[in-house]
């Protein structure tokens, strides 16, 4: 018996894509199911699945949805081209993993010379590695590496330690009034540290936007080493309580 097509729910279950994503692809004309049942249900055919594979490959290559649509419209852009591009990117990922392996070997050598390393440091290292892989493209990870090489390991550690200390203070003082000197001082430190953190990213505006989007979308919620929604909300309240420009505080005396 031939392939009779998949309803959107079944396609979602088989591929791991959400129904919402598939509906969005349909709405923007990126992937419209070829068939519909008499009752109006969408049915995705083998041809639709081939197109979906191309869409996913291009998305994983870092193409925007508009760029994916443009590529698939081009008569000179064949499915084989897409697969070849994906293979190239996978080879780049393998090379990236090899670089990561070399870096970890270097860290291991330093660990052996410096003695025991804390469990907390291991946990933070693992957390950052998985976070990066999950939320950034291989090209963006390369850009992170370029930023790291530019600012240097000492600055990276100083910034990490700065955020660890600042977040700990914010979370330990949720009762601070937004207009209080203590809260305002925390917000000032936040602004200064954020500017220092992003200093090395000036050459990569798209990466800066990706970082901002990930935080906006809640991608790092549950990662205690990263600012959480509650932390952002606290800082927003504090900044909202700042005196307007030119406003002079009343003399308590």
What are the structural domain ranges in the chain?
A: 8-77, 78-117, 135-240
Q: Distances in Å between the alpha carbon of 73 and those of 58, 68, 231?
A: 13, 9, 44
Give the residues of the chain that fall short of pLDDT 50.
Answer: 1, 245-253
pLDDT of residue 98: 59
Does the pTM exceed 0.95? Answer: no
Q: Is the dihedral of CA 14, 85, 102, 224 positive or negative?
A: negative
pLDDT of residue 110: 58
pLDDT of residue 250: 42
pLDDT of residue 54: 85
pLDDT of residue 216: 80
pLDDT of residue 132: 65
Annotate 3-29 with b (16+ C-beta within 10 A) or e (fewer): eebbebeebbeebebeeeebeebeeee
Pull the structure tokens for residue 29: 């004309």
pLDDT of residue 248: 41
pLDDT of residue 228: 86
pLDDT of residue 96: 58
Nearest-angstrom CA–CA distance, 12 and 9: 5
pLDDT of residue 252: 41
Give the CATH architecture of domain 8-77.
Answer: Orthogonal Bundle (1.10)
Annotate 235-252 with b (16+ C-beta within 10 A) or e (fewer): beebeeeeeeeeeeeeee
pLDDT of residue 122: 54
pLDDT of residue 249: 43
């Amino acid at each position: 018996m031939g392939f009779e097509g998949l309803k959107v729910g079944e396609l979602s279950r088989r591929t791991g894509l959400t129904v919402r994503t598939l509906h969005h692809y349909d709405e923007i004309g990126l992937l419209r199911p070829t068939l519909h049942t008499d009752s109006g249900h969408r049915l995705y055919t083998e041809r639709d699945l081939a197109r979906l594979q191309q869409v996913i490959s291009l998305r994983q290559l870092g193409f925007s949805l508009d760029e994916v649509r443009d590529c698939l419209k081009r008569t000179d852009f064949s499915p084989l081209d897409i697969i070849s591009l994906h293979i190239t990117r996978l080879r780049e990922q393998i090379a990236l993993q090899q670089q990561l392996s070399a870096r970890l070997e270097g860290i291991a050598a330093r660990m052996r010379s410096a003695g025991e390393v804390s469990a907390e440091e291991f946990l933070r290292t693992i957390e950052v590695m998985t976070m990066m892989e999950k939320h950034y493209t291989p090209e963006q990870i390369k850009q992170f590496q370029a930023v790291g090489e530019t600012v240097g390991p000492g600055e990276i550690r100083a910034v990490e330690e700065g955020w660890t200390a600042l977040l700990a203070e914010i979370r330990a003082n949720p009762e601070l009034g937004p207009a209080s000197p203590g809260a305002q001082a925390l917000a000032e430190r936040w602004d200064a540290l954020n500017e220092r953190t992003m200093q090395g990213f000036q050459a990569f505006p798209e990466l800066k936007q990706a970082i901002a989007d990930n935080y906006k979308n809640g991608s790092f919620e549950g990662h205690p080493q990263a600012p959480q929604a509650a932390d952002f909300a606290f800082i927003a309240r504090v900044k909202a309580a700042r005196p307007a420009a030119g406003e002079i505080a009343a003399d308590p005396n």
